[in-house]
Amino acid sequence: MISRLATIARLPPRLLGRRASGEGGSIVVEGARKATGGKGRTRVVMTMAVFFGIYATIAGRLVYLGFQNPDLSGGPQSRVTASRPDIVDRNGEVLATDIKTASLFAEPRRIVDADEAIEKLSTVLPEIDYEQTYHKLKSGAGFVWLQRQLTPKQQSDIMQLGIPGIGFRTEKRRFYPAGETSSYIVGLTNIDNQGISGMEKYIDEQGLSDLQASGLAIAKDLKPVQLSIDLRVQHIVRDEIATGMEKYRAIAAGAVVLNVKTGEVVAMASVPDFDPNNPYNAQDKDRLNRMSAGLYEMGSTFKSFTTAMALDSGKVTMESRFDASRPIRIGHQTIHDFHGKGRVLSVPEVFIYSSNIGSAKEAEAVGIDGHREFLHRLGILEKMQTELPEVARPTEPKVWKQVTSITVAFGHGVSTTPLQTAVGCAALMNGGYLIEPTFLTRTQEQAMSVAKKVVSEKTVEGMRYLYALNAEKGSGRNARVPGYRVGGKTGTAEKVVNGRYSKDKNFNAFVAAFPMDDPQYIVLTIADEPKPEKPGMGATAASNAGVMAANIIRRSASMLGVKPDFSHENGATLVSYQ
């Protein structure tokens, strides 16, 4: 027993701790556990520190990127798909609206094989330019357009090709339900849906482009723009001038229907025209809105202004007489009458026989300065103020001489637009007020607030009488429409070709007003270089422009709210003059 204890006493302390039992052994084990727990906490703290460092690095990078300029190559600018307001006619019929369409783009950095991608795309888009597209796909950019405004079928077919690195973006494009019918009035937008002509351009100039640039052009906030156009009448006008152009083999034709009380353009068309939904030929030189952007010598329609000027001056009355028995010779020029009577003519006879000599003598009675002042007063020689951007500035000689006044008296020597001629004639029918034309709706009260008195009531009374008389006994007979009391004046002007007046190329016009007892509308039609309808027939304004005006009135008068009245269909003059 003693020897065994002695042996235990000689063992090392660390062995004693492992082999001993009881209270002393428990103390040793607990100390070991405490040492192990301290190391574990250290590892947890280190792990947390690593994760904190990683997240801090990510957060710092995000903050840095937030202060950098965005990479615009990653996608198109938002203004590309900016909304536009609908354009509607006076009855709410849609003339222009936005529709959604898909546009094809590519991310060149993700394109694996540019050649293969182009070959596949060409099966759906055969018109695609290989070289240009190849350079785009090899550019390494983040984003490039490949084709804008695809059809739904093209989009579907391209999706089935399964080409990596290409996609579609929904954009807005303009759709014109009326097509060619109102193309020159409504106008066009470009590929980015921005107005470039017609009322589309006018709308942009009124602040829409600024809204688009600021991202505030939101579809639901844009109210429709209502025009003064009546789509029903617009269709009739376009149909009649297109038919007339073909029938009379003219190089162009046009017409306008103008409300004489408000200045509203109810319809206006010019052919040749274009389809705004596919305007591939819109820039052709013969695609011109001849009614507002074409300048012409308006021929004998100007005799309306000459006679009105003479009456309004007080120097000429309806009983005045002018000797038209002999031509007028001035300088190297000789003024003849087309169908001269060879005698003294009264003012009504000068008008209904369309006497150049008589008109020249009316102008002489007023004088050169008075003649020029009167035409400017009626706005005939001023640039017209209206919403449509395509408006030409009239031309006139810098210095008016006696020969200028004589030739201008029958519509030669100055050039103006057909629309301005219609506006000037409206002032001779509506009580003597010049009202600038508008393509937006306008009440009569609003019109009178901007109207300018240009001729007296007495002059208006005389001109209404002469218009009615000319339709009964003069050159306006072909424009008569039963029940609608039409009056008017023809104009057949020789065109200037290579600096000289041509004997076989005319610019014809007819200006009509109805109903003559209280005119509500002016209809002015033109035919550029018309040919005889049949061999042996003439090609004067009475035989083409006058006929077109009659057809327009016959088909549209009821839509314009003019009720027919057959009580005067006995051949008597509809308007008296005291």
Q: Are 341 and 459 in contact (CB under 8 A)?
A: no
Q: Are 418 and 298 in contact (CB under 8 A)?
A: yes
- Per-residue tokens: 207: 């602040």
Query: DSSP code of 404?
Result: H
> Across the strands, what pairs with 169?
103
Closest CA to 521 of 481, 482, 561: 561
Q: Are 146 and 106 in contact (CB under 8 A)?
A: yes
In angstroms, the CA 289 to CA 389 distance is 11
In angstroms, the CA 421 to CA 378 distance is 9
What H or E segment, with its residue span, contains residue 320?
none
Q: Are 302 and 491 in contact (CB under 8 A)?
A: yes
What H or E segment, with its residue span, contains residue 239?
helix 231-247
In angstroms, the CA 157 to CA 123 distance is 9
- Catalytically active residues are 300
What H or E segment, with its residue span, contains residue 161?
helix 152-161
In angstroms, the CA 445 to CA 116 distance is 67
Secondary structure E strands in 107-202? 144-150, 166-175, 188-189, 195-197
- What share of residues in the chain are helix, strand, coil (percent, to 5)? 40, 20, 40
Q: How many residues does the chain have?
A: 578
Q: Are 526 and 507 in contact (CB under 8 A)?
A: yes
SS3 for 288?
A: coil
- Per-residue tokens: 199: 């009322």
